[in-house]
Amino acid sequence: MTTVKEHILNEVNCMIHEKGFKGITFLSLAERISTSRENVHHHFKTKEKLGVAYLDYLKLSLENDFFEIHHLPANTFVKLEAYYDLYQIAKKGRAICPIVPLLNEYRTLPSSMKKGIDELINIEFKNLKKILNEDYRLDDNEIQSIIMLLKGTVLYEKTNISYFNKTLISIKKFLDIILPQEK
C-alpha cells in the first residue's frame, strides 16, 4: 500500500518530466493527486523540502535497482541491459531519466537539491563503474564516456527510435578491441 507521501513523490516524478521542478506548485500537485494543498504542505513544509525528499526517494530507488542488477548472474553487457531496462520501465510511466530534467534547472535549484543531484550522479557512476569493471579495467574517464553514450542513447528513446542495441554493440567492440577482458 502506498502512503500519501509516496503518492506525492511519485507524482512529483511525473510532473518534473512535464514541467520541471520550477513548474510544480503545491496546488498543481494537490490537484493531480486529488487532495488539498494543505495536505501536501502537511507532508512537505516547503518546496525545497519536497525537492530534497524527492531526491532521497530517487537515491533509495536507484540504490535498490543497482543492488538487484549487481546480483544478476550475468556478464557486464547483460547488466548494462538491465540498467537500460530501468529507463524503459520508467518510459512506460511517462518518463525516461529522472536526473536529466533536474540537470536542466541545476543552476537555479537550492544548494540542498544540488547536493542531492550530485549524490544521484555519484551513485550512478559508482555502480556503473562496478558493473563495467567486472570484466574490464577502465579508468574514470573511460567509464564517464560510456555513461554519456548510454545517457545519450536513453534520451534518443524519446523519439521511439532505438539506438541502444547499436550503442551496446559499439561499446562492446571498443572494449574488446582496445581493452582486453580480464577474467
Task: Give the residue, 167 or 79, on which the prediction is more confident.
Answer: 79
Domain contains 23: yes
For the chain, what is the domain count?
1
Neighbours of 72 (CB within 10 A): 12
Q: Which three cell numbers stand for residue 12?
A: 512529483
The span from the CA of 87 to the CA of 99, in Å, is 11
Summary mean pLDDT of the chain: 86
DSSP state of 157: G
Q: Which of 72-81, 129-138, 149-158 has the lowest mean pLDDT?
A: 149-158
The domain in which residue 153 lies consists of 4-178
Q: Which amino acid, 1?
A: M
Q: Which amino acid, 37?
A: R
pTM of the model: 0.85
Task: Give the residue, 168 or 46, on which the prediction is more confident.
Answer: 46
pLDDT at residue 158 is higher than 80: no
Domain contains 118: yes
Query: How far is the first Cα of the chain from the last one, in angstroms, to the nearest whole number?
Result: 44
pLDDT at residue 57 is higher than 60: yes
Q: What is the CATH number of the domain that holds 133?
A: 1.10.357.10
Residue whose C-alpha cell reads 511525473 in the numeric block: 14
Q: Which amino acid, 5?
A: K
Domain contains 183: no
| Three-class secondary structure assignment of 90-127 | HHHCCCCCCHHHHHHCHHHCCHHHHHHHHHHHHHHHHH
Domain contains 166: yes
